[in-house]
C-alpha cells in the first residue's frame, strides 16, 4: 500500500527516465512480439499474410487506444488523489475506473465484431488479404476486455510510482505471446489465425499480472459500490472521453495512411506494415513518455509543486532528444538487416530505407506532442489533447501525404507524416508550457481556504 507521494520527491529526470524506461520495456516487449508475428508470417512466403496483419493492426490499434485512454483516466485520478494523500479516494477511483473500462470494452467488442469485414474493406483490404485480416481480427478483438484490465492495472501502478510492476503486465504478456506464436503458427499450421490465437491468450496473462500487483501488493481496489460508481462516472468520462478521442486520432491517421498507401499496391502496404511494427519497438521509449510524465505531473499538481512540474517537462524533452539520437542512429545502421530479415521486396525495401534514413528523427517532435498530451490529460484540459492530436491526424496528415506523394510517390506518404509531426510537436510543447505557467499564476493569485477545491477538482 502506498505510504507517500514518491514522485513529489527526488530528481524529476530520474523519475522520467525510470518511469519511461520501465514502461517502454513492457511496451517494447509487447510490440516486439508483434514484430516477431510479422517475421514469422513473412516466412510463410505469402505477402498477403503480411499485408493482412497490417490492415488488421490498424483496427487493433484503435481498440488498444481506447484501452489506453481509460488507463489515462485511472492514472490522472489516482495520482492526483495520492498527491493529496487521500488514499480512500484513490482506491475508490481505481475500482470505479476498472468497472467503467470492463463495461465499455465489452460494448465495443459487441459493436465491432460483426462489422469487421466491412471496416477492413473500407480501409483498402481486398481479396485474400481481406479474408486473412478478417479471420485474424475476429479472433483477436475478443481479448479487448483483457487488454483493458491490464492497461488500467498498469495505469494504477504507474500512478503510485510503481513503474516496475506496471512493466511486468505488458512484459509477461509479450513473453507468453512469443512462446505461443511459433507453436500456433507453425506447429499447429494455423498461419495468420494461429498468430491471433497466441496473441489472444497472451492478453489474458496480462490480467493475472495486473490483478496481483494492484490487489495483492498495493491493495488499491476499494469495494465496489454502485452509487459511488455513478458519482465517479462523470469525473472518469471528463478525462476518458477526450482521451479516447485523442487516442482515436492516431488510428484515424493510420487508417488515412493505409488507405492512401493501398493505391501504391501491396508492396507499399507491406512496407508500411513492417515499418508500423518497427516503430513501437525502436521508439517504445518515446511512446512511454505520456504514461511516464502523467503520474509525475499528477502527484506534483496534487501537492502544489509547480517548480517540479516545470522541471518534469524539461527533463522529458532532454530524455526524448537523447533517446532519438541514439535509436535513430541504430535504426539507420540496421536498415539493410531489416530488409533481409523481413524478406522485403525491392519496392518495400526502398520505403524501409527511406524511413530509416530521412524520416525516423521526426519522432523526437512526435515525443514533444506526447509530453503535451500528458500535460493536458493530467492537469484538467483533456480537450486540448484531443484538438492537438486530431489536428495532427487530419490537417497534419491527410493534405501533407497527398501533396508530398504527388512529387515523391509512396515515399511522400512517410515524409508528409514527418512534416506534420514537426509542426504539431512544437505547437503542443509551447501550449503545454504556457498552460503550466497559467495554472501557477492562477494558484498564486487565489487564496484558497483549507480544504477548498482547485479548478481541476471543480471540473471533475
| pLDDT, block means (10 residues), the chain with 460 residues | 68 87 72 69 74 78 82 87 86 94 94 92 84 90 91 88 80 83 86 86 86 87 88 89 76 79 86 84 81 86 88 95 94 92 87 94 94 88 87 90 91 93 95 93 67 47
Per-residue pLDDT tens digits for 152-200: 998 898 888 887 888 887 788 878 888 888 899 888 888 888 888 988 8
pLDDT score for 453 = 46
Does the residue 455 lie in any domain?
A: no
Question: What is the sign, positive or negative, of the torsion defined by CA atoms of 201, 206, 209, 210?
Answer: negative
Domain of 299, in residue numbers: 6-441
> How many of the other CB atoms lie within 10 Å of CB of 310?
16
Does the residue 269 lie in any domain?
A: yes
Does the residue 319 lie in any domain?
A: yes
> How many of the other CB atoms lie within 10 Å of CB of 99?
18
Does the residue 48 lie in any domain?
A: yes
Does the residue 328 lie in any domain?
A: yes
CB 86 within 8 A of CB 74: no
Give the residue among 95, 44, 105, 102 at the shortest CA–CA distance from 74. 95
CB 222 within 8 A of CB 86: no
Structural domains in the chain (count): 1
Does the residue 161 lie in any domain?
A: yes
Report which DSSP code applies to 3.
-
Number of H helices, E strands in the chain: 19, 0
pLDDT score for 372 = 94
Does the residue 412 lie in any domain?
A: yes
Helix, strand, or coil (residue 356)? helix
Q: How far apart are the C-alpha atoms of 307 and 301, rounded to whole Å?
A: 10
Q: How far apart are the C-alpha atoms of 315 and 265, rounded to whole Å?
A: 43
Phi, psi (degrees; rounded to nearest 5) at 389: -70, -35
pLDDT score for 424 = 96
Q: How far apart are the C-alpha atoms of 363 and 420, rounded to whole Å?
A: 11
Report CA 214 to chain centroid distance, whole Å.
21
Q: How far apart are the C-alpha atoms of 209 and 229, rounded to whole Å?
A: 25
Does the residue 1 lie in any domain?
A: no
Report which DSSP code applies to 217.
I
Q: How far apart are the C-alpha atoms of 130 and 124, rounded to whole Å?
A: 9
Per-residue pLDDT tens digits for 228-273: 999 899 889 988 888 777 777 776 787 788 888 888 888 888 888 8
Amino acid at each position: 500500500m502506498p505510504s507517500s507521494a514518491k514522485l513529489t520527491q527526488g530528481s524529476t529526470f530520474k523519475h522520467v527516465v525510470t518511469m519511461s524506461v520501465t514502461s517502454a520495456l513492457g511496451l517494447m516487449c509487447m510490440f516486439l512480439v508483434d514484430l516477431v508475428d510479422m517475421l514469422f508470417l513473412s516466412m510463410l512466403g505469402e505477402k498477403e499474410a503480411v499485408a493482412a496483419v497490417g490492415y488488421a493492426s490498424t483496427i487493433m490499434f484503435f481498440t488498444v487506444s481506447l484501452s489506453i485512454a481509460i488507463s489515462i483516466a485511472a492514472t490522472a485520478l489516482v495520482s492526483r488523489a495520492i498527491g493529496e494523500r487521500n488514499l480512500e479516494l484513490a482506491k475508490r477511483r481505481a475500482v470505479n475506473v476498472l468497472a467503467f473500462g470492463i463495461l465499455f470494452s465489452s460494448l465495443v467488442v459487441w459493436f465491432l465484431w460483426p462489422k469487421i469485414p466491412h471496416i477492413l474493406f473500407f480501409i483498402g483490404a481486398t481479396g485474400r488479404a481481406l479474408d486473412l485480416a478478417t479471420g485474424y481480427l475476429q479472433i483477436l478483438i475478443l481479448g479487448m476486455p483483457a487488454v483493458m484490465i491490464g492497461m488500467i492495472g498498469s495505469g494504477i501502478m504507474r500512478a503510485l510510482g510503481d513503474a516496475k510492476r506496471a512493466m511486468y503486465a505488458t512484459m509477461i504478456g509479450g513473453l507468453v505471446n512469443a512462446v505461443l506464436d511459433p507453436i500456433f503458427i507453425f506447429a499447429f499450421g494455423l498461419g495468420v489465425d494461429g498468430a491471433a490465437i497466441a496473441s489472444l491468450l497472451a492478453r489474458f496473462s496480462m490480467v493475472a499480472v495486473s490483478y496481483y500487483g494492484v490487489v495483492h501488493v498495493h491493495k488499491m481496489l476499494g469495494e465496489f459500490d454502485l452509487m459511488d460508481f455513478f458519482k465517479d462516472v462523470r469525473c472518469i468520462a471528463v478525462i476518458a472521453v477526450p482521451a479516447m478521442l485523442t487516442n482515436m486520432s492516431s488510428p484515424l491517421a493510420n487508417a488515412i495512411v493505409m488507405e492512401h498507401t493501398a493505391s501504391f499496391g501491396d508492396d507499399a502496404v507491406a512496407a508500411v506494415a513492417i515499418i508500423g511494427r518497427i516503430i513501437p519497438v525502436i521508439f517504445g521509449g518515446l511512446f512511454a513518455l505520456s504514461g511516464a510524465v502523467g503520474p509525475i505531473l499528477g502527484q506534483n499538481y496534487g501537492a502544489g509543486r509547480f517548480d517540479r512540474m516545470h522541471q518534469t517537462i524539461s527533463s522529458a524533452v532532454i530524455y526524448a532528444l537523447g533517446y532519438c539520437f541514439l535509436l535513430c542512429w541504430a535504426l539507420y545502421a540496421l536498415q539493410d538487416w531489416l530488409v533481409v530479415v523481413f524478406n522485403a521486396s525491392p519496392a518495400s525495401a526502398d520505403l524501409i530505407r527511406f524511413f530509416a534514413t530521412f524520416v525516423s528523427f521526426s519522432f523526437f517532435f512526435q515525443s514533444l506532442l506526447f509530453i503535451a498530451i500528458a500535460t493536458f490529460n493530467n492537469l484538467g484540459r483533456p480537450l486540448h489533447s484531443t484538438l492537438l492530436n486530431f489536428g495532427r491526424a487530419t490537417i497534419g496528415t491527410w493534405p501533407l501525404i497527398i501533396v508530398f506523394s504527388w512529387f515523391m510517390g509512396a515515399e511522400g506518404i512517410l515524409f508528409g507524416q514527418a512534416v506534420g509531426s514537426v509542426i504539431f510537436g512544437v505547437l503542443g510543447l509551447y501550449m503545454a508550457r504556457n498552460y503550466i505557467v497559467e495554472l501557477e499564476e492562477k494558484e498564486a493569485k487565489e487564496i484558497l481556504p483549507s480544504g477548498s477545491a482547485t479548478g481541476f477538482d471543480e471540473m471533475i
